[in-house]
Chain A
Amino acid sequence: MRGLQLLARPAIRGYASTARPYVPPAQLANVAPASAPQKPRPESPSFFTVRPAYYDQLYELNQALSLSRRALRSQCLLPLPPFARDALRPMPSMWRTRGDLSDVMSTPLSNTRYKSITSVLDQLHECRRIAWTAGSLELAVGISDVLTSFEHRNLDAVTNRKRKERPLDEHGRSYTVGRRKTSSARVWMIPVQHDASASTSAPASETVAPPPTPAQASVNNDIDALFGSSADRTSEPASTALAAAPILSSPAQSAPPVKLAEVLVNNIPIHEYFQNPTDRARIVRPLTLTGSLPAYNIFAIVRGGGLSGQSGAIAHAISKGIVVHDARQEIKDILKKAKLLRRDPRMVERKKTGLEKARKRRAWVRR
């Protein structure tokens, strides 16, 4: 009873009172604040990151993407079946360059960050494409508004440009560059001039074929079939001339002196520069596959790397050179299938810390 009475009475002890004590105003004149002034709250949570502008932008783009996707899904336009995806209207797009985008966002962008932005932009562009083809123009326009500021300034010019033409120079030579590992090769290819007039050559010359034996007659037949006796071939690609040559010819006809490709590497004949038959075969392979062995004389300047890397670089350059001289699709297909037009991306893998080499680990010790 007494305890309850005690509890009901208000606390009158000064140190435990909840009411504010009276302080005369003069006392509060030159008083420092009890706690530091509260800093303004940052606008976005990415304030404390290294590149807030980049992260903000990425967040906004991802937001836009998820909204667009939701909208498309609600219209049953996502996920799209493959036949519908193939039927989408083509809309080429090109984004600003990394430097441009860095200026726009006023923050430096690394390659990785730029790629992450462009990947989101690509996905948004895909949504726009679907929306445009499906006819939901509102959504398409909305996405376009988002993407406009990221598109290349000269979009039309860039999307309509053609692949850079590499013409032949005034002598009919092609100049191409090939690379493999750390080697790079510069290759000039000029079509071989096959002599049209075999009859005017001197009889004592060793290049005139004698009356052929049966074995040689077959060789001569094949040679005639391949090379014929057509006129100067500098203007047209050699392989078209080969195709136009007569298939069957009389064995009694004396074959014209046949010339095959000569390959000079750093001004040294190929058999002196490359002792290994594998390297030589690698260089000659593009010519063999396309049947252009008698067609071109090749001069190569190669630097860097070792012998097999140099041979790969020369082969790459020769393949590109063949395409320059002879732009037929079947030639390109043959070389593409043989992976000769593609710069081999394999390079030496770096050594990692804690490992002996790129992949070799140190010996495992139980303790």
Chain B
Amino acid sequence: MSALSRQCAATSRAGAGASRKQLLSKGPGACSTVQTRSYAAVQKKAASKQGPNGFKGGRNQESQKKYKVDPNARIMQYKPLPAAQLASPLFQTVNPDPLAALPTFRADTLTRSQASRALAFADAAQDASAPFRVFGVQRRMVLEFRLLSRACSVVRGVTLDVVDRLDKAGQEGSKGNRLVLTGDEGCGKSFALLQATQYAAGRDWLVLYIPRGIDLVNSSTPYVYDARTQTYLQGAFALETLKRFARANAAKLNDLVTSTPVELEPRAVLLAGLQPQGQSTNPAASEGTVLPPGTPITQLIEIGTREASVAPAVLDSLLEQLGQQTKRPVLLAVDDFQAVYGKSAYKDPHFAQIRPWHLSMPRLILEYASGNKTFARGAVLGALSSSPHYPLPLELAESLNTPSHAPSSGPYVQRHATAQFYASGLETIPVPSKLSIPEAAALFSVRWKGGKEPGDEMFFSRYVESGGNARSFVWKGILGGAL
């Protein structure tokens, strides 16, 4: 009662305009305090005045700015309706879907005769563990696959070259098969990488595909410093990678076992509920346990997927074990390859930039890309991308003999020794900057969504306008630049 009266007294002091008796009669919930401290007062927004031409949409620039859409975000706004919702007769077409008759991309039938042909990837129902379905793809490809009724691509000469190289690498180790797809912006490097992963998956390889290398270094996932490895662990990323790797290669991992003892951290032991079985090889190490050789690989992965804190170490061990086995080749495919060689967006406690080789995931990739760690059978395949925020670093450009457009290049710029070490020994597979006419024709026939049948003139003029560049041809030429 006294609190209530105090409240209502404050109200009446502030001059709420209601008499004390009235407030008291209304009940306990009726009173409300009016904030008198100016710094804590409710901030009233200044009423936005309508300009003289406001309703015509002329002068009110602020509202115009508010609705400006980021072009990258605009790409993702397109979401087609699922086919099940299109039951109305209005949506039934007389013309059959041309993509329904496309042959499927199969690793065993991919030969030189398939050059310049459009092939569709198997549907989700038939091939749910395809690398691109499990790991994802680049942003632009997501929209392209949404626009088409089936995910498909054109087999180019460079595809067949990469595939031939993978066949060779399947017999050899990854030491001499560290390949990077290079070429102009929009020439089709990411698509070639995607086709390579699909081929490898079809050939019973174990595929670890990282479609957006920029996500490794753009500070979008948590990171924690680990004193043991003296690197920053990216637990969440490693956890997701393990899960997806298990899903993408489920059938192939069942018969694989560890060949050497795998040391586990104490936390991993706790999560796995394991009894300490062996002794650690390093007597100075803290209590841990060692998984004996012959443990199924799936068990190792399952331990790593329990918690994000243990995932990075388990991923390291997993790749080490897979690198030792010779039953199945391993493909480590990374898009935005240049991102792991440059600078990351992560900051250390002194707000200094962290270099990618001090982060667990990029470090893993760099170790295999430099040949420091190898797969007994398999390859490392990367694809460069032209990103304004993560450009091609000078050391990588020099190692690949590609021209660097970085503003600071030349004899007076210091090269980072670590980056040079990690970039040494990489082999380039140049992707041609222009589509050949048959390839462009296949691409055109698949992606043309216009009403009437396009003529040669349309095709040739779009080809010349795009200069043969694949991205320009598809996005500006065929899809009209609307997106």
**Residues of A at under 8 Å CB distance from B?**
204-207, 209-211, 213, 215-216, 219, 222-223, 226, 257-258, 260-263, 269-272, 275-277, 280-281, 283-284, 287-288, 291, 293-294
Kindly state the separation between the CA atoms of A165 and B55 in the bound complex, as whole angstroms. 59
**Residues of B at under 8 Å CB distance from A?**
112-117, 156-158, 432, 436-439, 441-442, 445, 456-457, 460-461, 463-467, 469, 472, 476-477, 480-481
Interface pair B465/A216, CB less than 8 Å apart: no
Closest 6 CB pairs of A and B: A206-B157, A280-B465, A271-B472, A271-B467, A269-B467, A277-B481
| Contacting residues, chain A, for B477 (C-beta < 8 A) | 277
Name the residue in B157, B441, B463, B464 with the highest tally of chain A Cβ atoms < 10 Å from its Cβ: B464
Smallest Cβ distance from B200 to chain A, in angstroms? Answer: 21
| Contacting residues, chain A, for B436 (C-beta < 8 A) | 206-207, 257
Identify the closest chain B residue to A205 (Cβ).
Answer: B157
Kindly state the separation between the CA atoms of A271 and B439 in the bound complex, as whole angstroms. 18
| Contacting residues, chain A, for B112 (C-beta < 8 A) | 204, 210
Interchain CB contact (< 8 A) of A206 among B115, B461, B472: B115
Name the residue in B116, B442, B463 with the highest tally of chain A Cβ atoms < 10 Å from its Cβ: B116
Seed contacts A216-B116, A284-B465; 7 additional CB < 8 Å A-B pairs? A206-B116, A210-B115, A216-B438, A226-B456, A270-B467, A271-B466, A284-B464
Interface pair A211/B156, CB less than 8 Å apart: no
Kindly state the separation between the CA atoms of A8 and B79 in the bound complex, as whole angstroms. 124
Interface pair A288/B441, CB less than 8 Å apart: no
Kindly state the separation between the CA atoms of A272 and B464 in the bound complex, as whole angstroms. 12
Interface of B: prevailing SS: helix
| Contacting residues, chain A, for B114 (C-beta < 8 A) | 210
Interface pair A284/B469, CB less than 8 Å apart: no
| Contacting residues, chain B, for A222 (C-beta < 8 A) | 456
Kindly state the separation between the CA atoms of A204 and B481 in the bound complex, as whole angstroms. 35
Interface pair A277/B463, CB less than 8 Å apart: no
Kindly state the separation between the CA atoms of A365 and B213 in the bound complex, as whole angstroms. 62
Query: With A207-B436, A223-B437, A260-B464 given, is the CB distance from A280 to B457 under 8 Å?
Result: no
Interface pair B442/A216, CB less than 8 Å apart: yes
Interface pair A219/B461, CB less than 8 Å apart: no
Query: With A206-B156, A271-B472 given, is the CB distance from A281 to B460 under 8 Å?
Result: no
Interface pair B461/A288, CB less than 8 Å apart: yes
Interface pair A215/B465, CB less than 8 Å apart: no
Query: With A206-B157, A211-B113, A271-B469 given, is the CB distance from A277 to B464 under 8 Å?
Result: no
Interface pair B457/A209, CB less than 8 Å apart: no
| Contacting residues, chain B, for A277 (C-beta < 8 A) | 465, 476-477, 480-481
| Contacting residues, chain B, for A210 (C-beta < 8 A) | 112-117, 438
Identify the closest chain A residue to B98 (Cβ).
Answer: A215
Interface pair A260/B465, CB less than 8 Å apart: no
Query: With A261-B464, A271-B476, A294-B460 given, is the CB distance from A219 to B113 under 8 Å?
Result: no
Identify the closest chain A residue to B437 (Cβ).
Answer: A258
Kindly state the separation between the CA atoms of A305 and B114 in the bound complex, as whole angstroms. 47
Smallest Cβ distance from A278 to chain B, in angstroms? Answer: 9
Smallest Cβ distance from A218 to chain B, in angstroms? Answer: 10
Interface pair B465/A271, CB less than 8 Å apart: yes
Smallest Cβ distance from A241 to chain B, in angstroms? Answer: 16
Interface pair B464/A293, CB less than 8 Å apart: yes
| Contacting residues, chain A, for B437 (C-beta < 8 A) | 223, 257-258, 260
Kindly state the separation between the CA atoms of A261 and B398 in the bound complex, as whole angstroms. 33
Smallest Cβ distance from A1 to chain B, in angstroms? Answer: 93
Kindly state the separation between the CA atoms of A223 and B463 in the bound complex, as whole angstroms. 14
Query: With A206-B115, A263-B467, A269-B469 given, is the CB distance from A293 to B461 under 8 Å?
Result: yes
Smallest Cβ distance from A13 to chain B, in angstroms? Answer: 85
Identify the closest chain B residue to A215 (Cβ).
Answer: B445
| Contacting residues, chain B, for A223 (C-beta < 8 A) | 437
| Contacting residues, chain A, for B464 (C-beta < 8 A) | 260-263, 270, 284, 287, 293
Query: With A206-B156, A215-B445, A277-B480 given, is the CB distance from A260 to B115 under 8 Å?
Result: no
| Contacting residues, chain B, for A262 (C-beta < 8 A) | 464, 467
Interface pair A213/B466, CB less than 8 Å apart: no
Interface pair B456/A270, CB less than 8 Å apart: no
Interface pair A288/B457, CB less than 8 Å apart: yes
Interface pair A216/B156, CB less than 8 Å apart: no
| Contacting residues, chain B, for A287 (C-beta < 8 A) | 461, 464
| Contacting residues, chain B, for A291 (C-beta < 8 A) | 457
Interface pair A293/B465, CB less than 8 Å apart: no
Smallest Cβ distance from B482 to chain A, in angstroms? Answer: 10
| Contacting residues, chain B, for A284 (C-beta < 8 A) | 461, 464-465
| Contacting residues, chain A, for B438 (C-beta < 8 A) | 209-210, 216, 219
| Contacting residues, chain A, for B461 (C-beta < 8 A) | 281, 284, 287-288, 293
Kindly state the separation between the CA atoms of A151 and B447 in the bound complex, as whole angstroms. 66
| Contacting residues, chain A, for B465 (C-beta < 8 A) | 270-271, 277, 280-281, 283-284
Kindly state the separation between the CA atoms of A248 and B132 in the bound complex, as whole angstroms. 43
Kindly state the separation between the CA atoms of A281 and B460 in the bound complex, as whole angstroms. 11
| Contacting residues, chain A, for B467 (C-beta < 8 A) | 262-263, 269-272
Smallest Cβ distance from B162 to chain A, in angstroms? Answer: 13
User: Would you mind naming 22 contact pairs between A and B with Cβ atoms under 8 Å apart?
Assistant: A204-B112, A206-B116, A209-B116, A210-B114, A216-B441, A219-B441, A226-B456, A260-B463, A262-B467, A263-B467, A271-B465, A271-B467, A271-B472, A275-B476, A276-B481, A277-B480, A277-B481, A281-B461, A281-B465, A284-B461, A284-B464, A288-B460
| Contacting residues, chain A, for B469 (C-beta < 8 A) | 269, 271
Identify the closest chain B residue to A288 (Cβ).
Answer: B461
Kindly state the separation between the CA atoms of A275 and B113 in the bound complex, as whole angstroms. 35
Kindly state the separation between the CA atoms of A287 and B466 in the bound complex, as whole angstroms. 14
Identify the closest chain B residue to A270 (Cβ).
Answer: B467
| Contacting residues, chain B, for A283 (C-beta < 8 A) | 465
Smallest Cβ distance from A361 to chain B, in angstroms? Answer: 16
Smallest Cβ distance from A267 to chain B, in angstroms? Answer: 13
Kindly state the separation between the CA atoms of A226 and B460 in the bound complex, as whole angstroms. 12
Kindly state the separation between the CA atoms of A275 and B457 in the bound complex, as whole angstroms. 21
Smallest Cβ distance from A282 to chain B, in angstroms? Answer: 10
Smallest Cβ distance from B72 to chain A, in angstroms? Answer: 16
Identify the closest chain B residue to A283 (Cβ).
Answer: B465
Query: With A226-B456, A269-B467 given, is the CB distance from A213 to B117 under 8 Å?
Result: yes
Kindly state the separation between the CA atoms of A207 and B435 in the bound complex, as whole angstroms. 10
Smallest Cβ distance from A277 to chain B, in angstroms? Answer: 4
Kindly state the separation between the CA atoms of A211 and B465 in the bound complex, as whole angstroms. 28
| Contacting residues, chain A, for B472 (C-beta < 8 A) | 271
Name the residue in A206, A207, A223, A291 with the highest tally of chain B Cβ atoms < 10 Å from its Cβ: A206
Interface pair B460/A293, CB less than 8 Å apart: yes
Identify the closest chain A residue to B466 (Cβ).
Answer: A271
Smallest Cβ distance from B192 to chain A, in angstroms? Answer: 13
Kindly state the separation between the CA atoms of A211 and B112 in the bound complex, as whole angstroms. 11
| Contacting residues, chain A, for B157 (C-beta < 8 A) | 205-206
| Contacting residues, chain B, for A216 (C-beta < 8 A) | 116, 438, 441-442
| Contacting residues, chain B, for A293 (C-beta < 8 A) | 457, 460-461, 464
Identify the closest chain A residue to B445 (Cβ).
Answer: A215
Smallest Cβ distance from B46 to chain A, in angstroms? Answer: 26
Kindly state the separation between the CA atoms of A250 and B136 in the bound complex, as whole angstroms. 44
Identify the closest chain B residue to A255 (Cβ).
Answer: B438
Kindly state the separation between the CA atoms of A229 and B117 in the bound complex, as whole angstroms. 24
Kindly state the separation between the CA atoms of A208 and B117 in the bound complex, as whole angstroms. 13
Identify the closest chain B residue to A282 (Cβ).
Answer: B465
